[in-house]
Amino acid sequence: MTYEDRIRNARNGLSPSFVRLANFLLDSYTEAAFLTATELAHMIDIDPGTVVRFSQHLGYRGYPELQAEIRKRVRRECFLEVKTESNTPSEAAANALDEVVQTLRAVQRSFPVDVANKLITLLDEVERIIVLAEGYADPPAHTLATYLEAAGYTVHRSSGSPSGLARAVAGARKRDLALAVCVTEDTPYIAEALAGAKDAGAHTVSIVANPSSQSAVSADIVLAGFSHPDPGVGQVVLESMVYALVRMLAHARPARFRGAEERVRAMTERLVGNTNS
C-alpha cells in the first residue's frame, strides 16, 4: 500500500495529534518531503516523538522510511514525464487537464483587475447583493455568495427558475446590487432578470465565462473570462475568477474578513447547542 492508503486505513480511532499529522501528510506532502521529524512537529505543534510513533503506527520502522516514500511521490510528480496511451481514458483525463491549465493561464493574463477593483468599491455602497445564476454557474455563484456572507455582506441567493429569479429581482431597489454569474446561456432568464433589476434602479454586475454573454449587456460592471466551448471548463474559469476576486477583496477590506471564521464557528456552536438542549 502507498502511504496515503495506510493513513486512510488507519484514520478511525487516531488521537488528535495523529489526526493533525495525518491531515498534513495528505494535504501538504510536498512540504513534508523536505522536513525533518523535528521541523514537521514544530510546524503543526506536536511533539517530535509523535511523528516517530505515527510512522510506526502505519507500519514503517520510523519517519525516514515514511518520508522516503513521500519523496518518491514528489520526484515522480515533478520530474517524470507522464505518458498515456492513445485513445484511452487516461489520455482523455490528461487532455482535459491540459485544456484547463491552458485556459487558466489565459485567464491569468486577461483577468480584469481594474474592473474587479471597481466592483470592490461598489460593494461598499450597496445594502444588499442579489446573486443570479443557473446551471453550470450555480457552483461558482454559491462559492461567491458564501464568501460574501462570511465577510458580512447581505446576500440573497436566487434559484435559477423563472419564478425564483422573478422573486429575487421583483423587490430590487436603488441600493441593491444584482450580480449575475453565467457560464452558458441556455435560457434568457438571467439576462432578463438582470435587465429587470437595472430598470428598477439597482446596480448591476455580470461575472461571465464568455465575453459575448448576453448577461453582460445590462451590466454596469462586467468581469469576463476567457471563452472556451466546453461549459465544464467555463465553470472552472468562473471558479478561478471568483477566487481571485475574493482574494482581492480580502486584501482590500481585511476588516470584513478578520475573525469571520471565528464568528461562524461561534454561531454554529450556539445553534447546535440550542438544538440539543
Position 102 in a domain? no
- Cα torsion angle, 86, 89, 91, 92, sign: positive
Which residues of the chain, if any, have pLDDT below 70?
80-82, 261, 274-277
pLDDT value of position 81: 66
**Dist. CA 153–CA 255, nearest whole Å:** 12
Pair 245, 131 in one domain: yes
pLDDT digits (tens, 9 = 90+) for 42-83: 999 999 999 999 999 999 999 999 999 999 998 887 776 667
Q: Is residue 256 located within the same domain as residue 197?
A: yes
Look at residue 80 in the predicted model and tell me its pLDDT: 64
For residue 64, is it within any domain?
yes
Give CA angle at 207 (186, 146), nearest 5°: 100
Domain count, the chain: 2
- Residue 70 neighbours by CB under 8 Å, 6+ apart: 3, 25, 29, 32, 33
Are both 117 and 242 inside the same structural domain? yes
Judgement on whether residues 67 and 198 belong to the same structural domain of the protein: no
Whether 174 maps to a domain, the answer reads yes
Q: What are phi and psi of 19, to 5 degrees?
A: -65, -45
Instruction: Determine the structural domain holding residue 63 and report its residue range.
Output: 3-79
pLDDT for res 267:
75
Question: Is 114 domain-assigned?
Answer: yes
- Write down the pLDDT at residue 59: 95
Q: What CATH number did the domain enclosing 185 receive? A: 3.40.50.10490
| Distance between CA atoms of residues 179 and 172, nearest Å | 12
